[in-house]
Structure 1
């Protein structure tokens, strides 16, 4: 199993990144909350990974901390939650925001995420509560700090920030019309914003 990758960051096309590890390029899908923390292209990067083998594909999911990967692994054990939906959930909120939502029975925050209806949200709250107690007790202090996304200023190699932002939202499960609308609204007040800034603003407005 591939548990960690360290190499040069070649490209970022949310929600996927390409990492060159000694001449081999690994495609890794990451939650937006993790992708926002990556360094600039061409710099060294290290990500914690979860390897999924299917009949038709071998997929790598990447995270910045062991705590985030642990949460992902707990999520995909929940009924009706596969890797794609888990990635969407962790893109819409940080690991600690999700834990807070479950702890406080905040179903309304969960149903704002694409693919998470009321029944799924209510089931997540029930199923994840006990699992998250174990997750929090086993989380290293260095991994437990909330993400400060407001201070992050990454760059993305892309010809069109709008197109990349819309594409990223579509990949996370949002509808075309919804993605177009929120990105257009973000551009109205943030003209000239980078792709990742648009994605962050759009996700917050969902």
Structure 2
């Protein structure tokens, strides 16, 4: 398994980066906040996991080992694949997820796109004896790099990529923008919009 990747960011998308390692460009799918924090041409180090399917091998990367470990744990739940697991770790920190599971807080879990009431109940049932405070979790998210694209459009697109509707994303960004400056970091704006959606 590829447990980590360190190299130069050659391309940065909304939810993926290409990291050059030893002359090879590795496509790594990430939570939107991680991609927003990456700078093209700068060094980047990610905790990673390789998901192997019959017809594909997909590499996922995270800023913290705890987020990667949570992503892997989530996929042990029936019906939870990489896409849903990525949405969960994009919206909830490992600590927030652990608290929601321990408190059987279905309402918090259903704020994640793709998770309905039954799915949330299944997460609680299957993870309550497995999840705790994940080692390596926590820590401040890295600051986002400046970008030439409008921050608002980037945040809306990232939220839509997580499964929210365009109108939900637009409304959340509008509400979040009231507490942000004229040119906020994309990752800061994304976190603020996610808090609005979870409110």
- Normalised-by-shorter TM-score class: 0.7 to 0.9
Describe the SS at the equivalent of 1:132: coil
Which residue of 174, 177, 191 maps to 1:200? 191
How many pairs align? 196
Task: Spell out structure 1 runs of 4+ moving beyond 4 A.
Answer: 32-36
Between the aligned partners of 2:95 and 2:33, the Cα distance in structure 1 is 11
Report the Cα distance in structure 1 between the residues aligned to 2:125 and 2:6, rounded to whole angstroms.
Answer: 36
Instruction: Quote how far apart the aligned CAs of 1:128 are.
Output: 0.7
Q: How does 1:97-176 map to 2 (within 5 A)?
A: 97-133=96-132, 136=133, 140=135, 143-144=136-137, 146-149=138-141, 152-176=142-166
Which runs of structure 2 are paired with 1:17-28 in the superposition (5 Å)? 17-28=17-28
> Does the 8 Å CA contact 1:33/1:92 hold for their aligned counterparts?
no
Match runs of 1:76-115 below 5 Å: 76-115=75-114
In 2, Cα distance between equivalents of 1:162 and 1:64:
23
SS at match of 1:130: coil
Decide whether the 8 Å contact of 2:33 with 2:187 is kept in 1: no
Separation in structure 2 between the aligned mates of residue 98 and residue 33 of structure 1, nearest angstrom: 17
How well do the aligned residues superpose, as a CA RMSD in angstroms? Answer: 2.2
> TM-score if structure 2 supplies the norm length?
0.86
CA distance in 1, matches of 2:33, 2:157: 16
Q: Give the deviation of 1:64 after TM superposition.
A: 2.8
CA shift in 2, pair 1:35/1:103, >3 Å: farther
Distance 1:11 1:164 in 2: 15
Residue segments in structure 1 that go unaligned for 5+ positions in a row: none
Q: Counterpart of 2:19 in 1: which secondary structure?
A: strand
Does the CA-based 8 Å contact 2:29-2:59 persist in structure 1? yes
How far apart are 1:204 and its partner, in Å?
0.9
Tell me the TM-score normalised to structure 1 length: 0.83
Secondary structure of the residue that 2:188 maps to in structure 1?
helix
Q: Which residue number in structure 2 is paired with residue 29 of structure 1?
A: 29
Partner SS state of residue 131, structure 1: coil
Post-superposition Cα deviations, 1:23-52, rounded to whole Å, max 9, x if no partner, equal 22222112246556x564433222121112
